[in-house]
Amino acid sequence: MRPVGQPYKIAFLLFLVLGIYYPAIFGGVNSVDDWRMLIGLDNCNHFSLKDLFSPTTTFYYRPLLMASFFFDKYAWGLEPSFMHLENVILHAANTVLVFAIATAICKKSNKGAPAFPLLAAVIFAIHPINTESVDWISGRTDLLGSFFILAATLALIKGVAKQRLSLVGLASFLTLLAIISKEVMLFFVPAGCLLIYCLPYIENHAIPGKQTGKLLVLYTLPFLIGILCYMIFRLALHGGNDTGFRFLAYQLHRNGIYLFSNSLKVFGFYTKKLFIPVPLNFSITTINNGYIFLGLLAGILMFFLTVRIKKGTPVSFFFIIALYLITPAVIIALMSVAWTPVAERYVYLPSAFFSIALAGFFFSIVRDKKRILSGVILAGILLAAATVTAKRNILWQSNEALYRDSLRKSPDFLSLRNELAIALIEKGDDSAAEDQLETAIHRQDPHRKNPLLYINLARIKVKEKKFAEARGILFASMDSRENADPEVLKMLASVDEERILAADYPDEEREKDILSELITTYDAIYKKTKNPKDLYRNGQLSLALGNSQKALQYFTQAYQEAPAGSYYKGPALKLSQKLSGAP
C-alpha cells in the first residue's frame, strides 16, 4: 500500500484543527484582559514602530505581540471573530511545525514508525490543555511565542544536521522574536543549547570530543549573543525602572523553603496536566499539597534522563525539554502576577514537545502482535481528548457559561464572581449580578477589598437611578478619597455627574454641594493619574460655582499640561485668556 504523502498529512492536520476549534470563532470578548486590551487599542490614535519597541510600560515587553493586535485594529477594526480566527490559525501553524519537527527527528534517528510524526501532531492539535490559549484572545502571546520557538527548533535540527551555521543563526533570531512576543520564551535558550549537544547522539553517531566542543561553542554562540542583545536592549530602554526585573528579584528573596515546596507543587501539578488535563479550569487558585511528591518524582526523573542523555532517545530528550519548559510557569506561579497563579495556557509550549515524546513512546512499546489492540486503545484516548476539547471550545463561546463552570471548580475565588456579574449585566440580568457582587463583598477580606466589586455594584444602582445607594457603596470601599482606588474615584465622579444631569437634588444649595464634592473628587483623581482632563473639568465646575479665580487656575494648568491634539487644550487656553482679561 502506497504511503500517504506529506502534503495530505498536513492538509489533514489543518482540517483537524479548524474542525475542532471552529466554535472559537464565534466566541466573544472575555472580560478578563480582553476588554481592557481592546479598549486601549481602540483609544490609541497614533501608531509607530518607535513607540511599539520603546513602550512606557516597564513590566511587560512584547512589541511583536502588540504589533499583531495593531494589525487587527487596522485590518478589521478589532473584530473579535477575526481575532479568534487568528488564534486558531496560529495553533494550526504550530501543529504543522510539531509535525515537521517529529518528521525531522524520525529521519535523523533512523527509527520510528512513519505514523509517528502524524500522531505527535494530532496529540498536540487536540490536547485539551491548549484550549485556553486558543480560545482566549489574550492567550495569543503563548501561541505567537510558541510559533517562533517551534520554528527555531526545526531550524536548529536542520542546521546541526547539515552543519550550517546560517540555520543556527536563524534559530537564534527566531528565538529572539519569540522572546519579544512573550518574555518567558527566553527559557528555551538552554533547551536549544541542549538540543545542539544531543542531536549527534539522537542521530546515533558520536562526535569526537574536540569536534563536540567546537560544535557547542560555534552553534551556541548565536543563542548567547541573541539573549545578551535582548537583555542589553531592555536594560538600556528602562534601566533600573524595569519593574519586571525588579519584581522578579524581590520574589527570589522570599523564604527558601516556601519557594522550594511551592515550586515542587506547581511543577508536579503541571506535569500531571500534560498527561491528564481534566478537569479544565480557567481560574485555578489552589493546588493540593500532594502534588509536591509528584513534582519531586518528576524532578528526579528529569535529572535521571538528563544524566543519561547520551544513551537516550528522541523520546526521552523531548520529554526532558517538555518538563524543563514548565519552569517559567513555576516562576509565574511564585510571582503571582497573572489573573491566577496557575493557568493551563502556561503549558502550551511544553505540550508541543510532550506530544512528540508521547508519540515516540507509543511506537517504542507497540509490538506487531499488539498493534491492533494498541491502535484501538489509542483511538479511544484521542477521541476522548477531541471530545473534551470540542466541548471546551463551545463553553468558551459564553462568558457566563465559562465563569459559572469556573466558579463551580473554584468557589472561593471571589474575583470570579465579579467577572460573572459583568457577564450577567451584559446579559441584562442585573438582579443575579447584584447577588454575585454582594456575596463577594460579604466574603472578602475586609483589609483587602476588591474595588471592582464596589464599582460594578454601584453601576447597577446608577442604572436604577439609586444614586445615594451607589455613593454609599463606593464610600464603603475606601477610608477617604486620598487612599481610594482611582477607578473607584472615577466611578464616584460619574455617579455625581449623573446626579446633576438627573437633577437629583432638592434645591440650588444642594446642587452647589454636589459641584463642590465633584471638584474634590476630581482633585483626588488628578493626584493619582496626573490626567489634565480632570483639571479642565474642575475649571468648568468652578465656573458653575461662580469661582472665576479658581477656574482660571484650573484652565491655565490644564492648558499647560494637556497633550497636543487633545480636545480640551484649545478651549482651556481660550477660557483662561478670557478669565484673565488677556486679549
> Checking phi first, is residue 212 left (phi over 0); if not, alpha (psi -120 to 50) or beta?
alpha
CA distance 69 to 64: 9
Q: DSSP code of 546?
A: T
CA distance 214 to 197: 11
Nearest partner of 512 among 538, 544, 553, 485, judged by Cα: 544
Instruction: Select the CATH number that applies to the domain covering 411-580 from these four: 1.25.40.10, 3.40.50.720, 3.30.2020.10, 1.20.1050.10.
Output: 1.25.40.10
Q: Which residue carries 516597564 as its cell?
A: 58
Nearest partner of 522 among 507, 505, 536, judged by Cα: 536
Nearest partner of 346 among 337, 551, 153, 542, judged by Cα: 337
Q: What is the residue extent of each domain of the chain?
A: 6-395, 411-580
Element (H, E) at 462: helix 451-463
Contact 96, 10 (CB under 8 A): yes
Say whether pTM exceeds 0.85.
Answer: yes
CA distance 318 to 360: 9
Residue pLDDT tens, the chain, 583 long? 355 678 899 999 999 999 999 999 999 899 988 988 898 888 877 777 777 777 665 567 788 999 999 999 999 889 999 999 999 999 999 999 999 999 988 765 544 577 889 999 999 999 999 999 999 999 999 999 999 999 999 998 888 777 787 888 898 889 989 998 998 898 898 888 788 777 765 554 444 444 555 555 665 666 566 666 666 665 666 555 555 555 555 555 555 566 778 889 999 999 999 999 999 999 998 899 999 999 999 989 888 887 776 666 667 889 999 999 998 888 888 776 667 889 999 999 999 999 999 998 888 777 655 677 778 888 999 999 999 999 999 999 999 999 999 999 999 999 999 999 999 999 999 999 999 999 999 999 888 899 999 999 999 999 999 999 999 999 999 988 989 999 999 999 999 999 888 876 556 557 788 899 999 999 999 999 999 999 999 999 999 999 999 999 999 999 999 988 888 999 999 999 988 876 5
CA distance 187 to 327: 8
CA distance 118 to 141: 26
Q: Please name the residues in contact with 376: beta carbons below 8 A apart, sequence gap of 6 or more.
A: none
Query: Which parts of 366-448 fold into alpha helices (H)?
Result: 371-395, 399-409, 414-427, 430-443
Contact 109, 205 (CB under 8 A): no
